[in-house]
Amino acid sequence: MTGANRGLGLEFVRQYAAEGVHVHAACRNPDKADALNALAASSKGLVKVHAMNVADAASVTACAKALEGTALDIIINNAGIYGPKQQSAGDMDYAGWAETHAVNTMGPLRVAVAFKEHLKRSSTRKMVAITSQMGSIAQGGGRGFYAYRSSKTALNMVINLLANDWRDEGITTLAMHPGWVRTDMGGPQAPLSPEESVSGMRKVIAALTPAGSGTYLDYAGKPIAW
């Protein structure tokens, strides 16, 4: 689990641990991850906290190395950023756009590759990326938020490609939209609570089979047009 210190990531950790599942919870700054550390402390050893910045190759490699030999059933690539304030056609922060792609698009691939051997130690082998409906081209009518939208559209392609490339190795991939959720990113006006979104996503992940690899679903399991 990446981005496990707040928002949807923290809620995933809370729900899985409550069911007795072992969770490797990665975040950028474990020293400042008070809520996650408290959860880990009360989890009877189920939750282990690790440092990992998904935009930093050395950090991802170090985390994968620290977990060498560990079987991971499911990888949830959750960490993401909304991107720079200026991200319209007429007013683009290009450095911020590049950073958005480094975190939202390249980060999940980097994590998937670094932890592929851990995944292959399990028979479950599910690789999930939390994308967004805002990355859908087929839904049409999109305006603005060029950095965020394009990073998620590209992430969707990464998930689709990994489904093709890794199918023969029994790895199942999924691009999942969590709904619009009340987190720091989603804001207070969002209709869904993290509890509702994550409990829905966990059901979708549990029901995922190899035949569904490379699909783009929302938190209720409804397919989204690419």
Ligand X SMILES: NC(=O)c1ccc[n+]([C@@H]2O[C@H](COP(=O)([O-])OP(=O)(O)OC[C@H]3O[C@@H](n4cnc5c(N)ncnc54)[C@H](OP(=O)(O)O)[C@@H]3O)[C@@H](O)[C@H]2O)c1
The contact set with ligand X (CB under 6 A) reads 2-3, 5-9, 27-29, 53-55, 78-81, 103, 130, 132, 177-178, 180-181, 183-186, 190
For 208-220, letters b (16+ CB in 10 Å) and e give beeebbbbbbbbe
| Residue 170 C-beta: closest distance to ligand X, Å | 25
Whose Cβ is closer to ligand X: residue 198's or residue 208's?
198
Residue pair 112/60 in contact (Cβ under 8 Å)? The answer is no
Minimum distance between the CB of residue 111 and ligand X, rounded to whole angstroms?
9
Nearer to ligand X, 123 or 189 (CB): 189
> Least distance to ligand X from the beta carbon of 168, Å?
28
Report the length, in residues, of the chain. Answer: 226
Which residue's CB is nearer to ligand X, number 6 or number 48?
6
The three-state (H, E, C) secondary structure of 91-142, written as one string: CECHHHHHHHHHHHHHHHHHHHHHCHHHHHCCCCCEEEEECCHHHCCCCCCC
Of 91 and 184, nearer to ligand X (C-beta) is 184
Per residue, the 3-state secondary structure of 26-58, as one string, reads EECCHHHCHHHHHHHHCCCCCEEEEECCCCCHH
When the beta carbons of 113 and 169 are compared against ligand X, the nearer one is 113
Strands 47-51 and 172-177, sheet pairing? unpaired
Handedness of CA 82, 151, 64, 74 (dihedral sign): positive
